[in-house]
């Protein structure tokens, strides 16, 4: 089926592409300050990013305070939008094409193709961030939207994709026709990128350059953030889409197929022969909203489909606004929880059996303590059972929790951290027992020797020592002997309880150096 005759309402429909990443929790404040002070290249006193607040409507108080803390509370999350003055620097008003194996798709950034509101950046203090790009096809053809939704999420040329852009430079003096030249943003390497390699450029180059530029520190800030300060957390080189598709003139018998394609992010040539069970209207990943309107949930992203929605202000203006702000925020909060738990689980796995030649027990325990503290902070401030008061919003949020398996992930990480903490306590207890054992043997051995010999000493102790060996009082000799014997016994005990491992590690470390 080609959905012939069906069109997309360009005013209500949109696509957000979310690039998730991780960063060091300790760098949150430094990054926040740096991003807030980064200037547009070649534009003095114009900031690259403008600070924003997260949508507040219908948020429960404690959630609103987490996202937008008051002056009395330290920041736990920050949101910025790209300064409108930067859209020309990045070429967001140029003419762009997405080249795919099945079609060339002209597309625009931002609202109404003007490049505004094209990018947002969000950082959560726990160490999770999101760069959101708004882009959509110029065409209102539904198949073009499906193709764009499928292919644009690949940042590094996967599945044979790349992008092209050209910018108008004036009129031809002879023909009076517009003249264009190839374009690629200077912060991502400029037009020279078209001559490099296979004459192909990818959107991932712009994402990387934008994030690097965003954290270039002013002179008063530390330097390490001038390089790549983030790590990927989702599938490498891939974004998660969140889309709203308002389809007009869509035949009722094609609605289920379009839902199926949106759920699986299929392009026009995929998914045309689904199993009947996949088109059942009671599909648990399709959440009804109104007549012929559904939320669609998957691990790779989310969608909203409105088929022939009523042409009134609520369904054509208010609802799209709610989808862009409130429902997208629910998606981000759930993603932030998902990737936080994945980050903590990864930290446990990496440090659980770390190389003993590199990490001492105390270092490992310190790392475990930091992981445990991060989980406790997340539990107290980021693991919300309910976010919004409205019924539709709450159902949507709960569905994201179910699809992302947030509860299962939380229980898994909680069990890992508990086992890790118990293991650390066991190691501490074992070391304490060893220390007590060594001290006990040393003191006991020396005491036994001293008490056994002291009974045979009859010579009175002189208060005027001559400091000659042959005149040292036997009691002093006994004391020295008992101390030496105690030390020897302690060393033997320490070696027998694992001390030789420490010596062997020291020798191996010295040999490597």
Instruction: Provide the residue-wise pLDDT of the chain in tens; the chain has 513 residues.
Output: 678 789 999 999 999 999 999 999 999 999 999 999 999 887 778 899 999 999 988 899 889 888 988 767 777 899 999 998 888 888 898 999 999 999 999 999 987 655 578 999 999 999 999 999 999 999 999 999 999 999 999 999 999 999 999 988 888 777 778 888 889 998 888 888 877 555 689 999 999 999 999 986 544 444 444 578 999 999 999 999 999 999 999 999 999 999 999 999 999 999 999 999 999 988 999 999 999 999 999 999 999 999 999 999 999 999 999 999 999 999 999 999 999 999 999 988 887 765 554 456 677 778 888 888 999 999 988 999 999 989 999 999 999 999 999 999 999 999 988 887 777 777 667 666 666 665 665 556 555 655 655 554 555 545 555 555 555 556 555 556 566 665 666 666 655 655 555 556 666 656 555
Give the Cα separation of 489 and 9 in Å (integer): 86
Phi, psi of 243 (to 5 degrees): -130, 150
Query: Is residue 6 within 8 Å of 249, Cβ to Cβ?
Result: yes
- Structural tokens at position 221: 């800030």
Query: Which residues, including other chains, have CB under 8 Å from residue 70's CB and lie 6 or more apart?
Result: none
Instruction: Annotate 65-128 with DSSP letters as a single string.
Output: HHHS--TTS---EEEEEE-GGGTTTTTTTSEEEEE-SS-EEEEEESGGGS-TT-EEEEEETTTE
CA-based radius of gyration for the chain: 33
Q: How many CA atoms lie within 13 A of 477 on its CB side?
A: 12
Residue with tokens 């959560």: 124
Signed CA dihedral, 152, 157, 160, 165: sign only: positive
- Structural tokens at position 449: 């020797």
* Confidence at residue 177, expressed as pLDDT on a 0 to 100 scale: 81
**CB atoms closer than 10 angstroms to residue 124:** 27
CA 243 to chain centre: 21
* Confidence at residue 261, expressed as pLDDT on a 0 to 100 scale: 97
Provide the 8-state DSSP code for 469: G
As a residue count, the chain comes to 513
Phi, psi of 248 (to 5 degrees): -105, 150
């Amino acid at each position: 089926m080609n959905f012939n005759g069906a069109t997309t309402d360009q005013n209500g429909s949109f696509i957000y592409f979310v690039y998730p990443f991780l960063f060091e929790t300790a760098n949150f404040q430094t990054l926040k300050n740096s991003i807030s002070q980064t200037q547009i290249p070649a534009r003095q006193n114009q900031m690259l990013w403008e600070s924003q607040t997260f949508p507040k409507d219908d948020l429960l108080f404690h959630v609103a305070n987490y996202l937008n803390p008051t002056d009395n509370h330290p920041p736990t999350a920050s949101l910025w939008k790209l300064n409108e003055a930067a859209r020309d620097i990045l070429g967001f008003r140029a003419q762009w094409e997405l080249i795919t194996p099945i079609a060339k798709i002209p597309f625009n950034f931002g609202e109404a193709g003007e490049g505004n509101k094209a990018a947002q950046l969000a950082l959560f203090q726990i160490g999770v961030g999101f760069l959101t790009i708004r882009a959509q096809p110029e065409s209102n053809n539904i198949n073009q939207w499906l193709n764009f939704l499928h292919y644009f999420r690949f940042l590094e040329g996967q599945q044979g994709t790349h992008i092209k852009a050209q910018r108008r430079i004036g009129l031809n003096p002879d023909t009076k026709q517009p003249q264009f030249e190839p374009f690629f943003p200077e912060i991502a390497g400029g037009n020279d990128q078209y001559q490099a390699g296979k004459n192909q450029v990818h959107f991932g180059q712009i994402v990387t350059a934008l994030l690097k530029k965003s954290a270039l520190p002013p002179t008063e800030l530390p330097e390490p953030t001038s390089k790549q300060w983030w790590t990927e957390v989702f599938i490498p080189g891939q974004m998660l889409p969140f889309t709203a598709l308002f389809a007009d003139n869509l035949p009722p018998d094609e609605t289920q197929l379009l839902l199926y394609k949106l759920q699986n992010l299929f392009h026009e040539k995929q998914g045309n022969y689904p199993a009947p069970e996949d088109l059942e209207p009671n599909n648990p990943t399709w959440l009804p909203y109104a007549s012929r309107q559904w939320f669609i949930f998957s691990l790779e992203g989310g969608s909203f489909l409105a088929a022939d929605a009523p042409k009134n202000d609520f369904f054509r203006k208010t609802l799209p606004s709610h989808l862009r702000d409130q429902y997208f925020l629910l998606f981000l909060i759930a993603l932030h929880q998902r990737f936080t738990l994945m980050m903590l689980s990864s930290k446990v796995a990496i440090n659980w059996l770390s190389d003993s030649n590199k990490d001492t027990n105390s270092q490992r325990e310190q790392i475990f303590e930091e992981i445990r503290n991060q989980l406790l902070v997340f539990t107290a401030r980021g693991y919300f059972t309910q976010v919004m008061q409205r019924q539709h919003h709450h159902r949507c949020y709960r569905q994201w929790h179910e699809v992302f398996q947030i509860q299962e992930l939380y229980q898994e990480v909680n069990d890992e951290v508990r086992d890790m903490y118990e293991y650390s306590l066991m190691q501490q207890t074992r070391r304490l027992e060893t220390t007590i054992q060594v001290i006990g043997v040393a003191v006991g051995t020396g005491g036994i020797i001293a008490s056994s010999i002291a009974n045979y000493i009859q010579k009175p102790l002189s208060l005027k020592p001559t400091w000659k060996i042959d005149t040292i009082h036997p009691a002093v000799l006994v004391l020295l002997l008992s101390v030496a014997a105690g030390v020897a016994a302690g060393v033997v005990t320490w070696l027998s309880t694992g001390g030789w491992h420490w010596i062997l590690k020291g020798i191996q470390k010295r040999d490597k150096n």
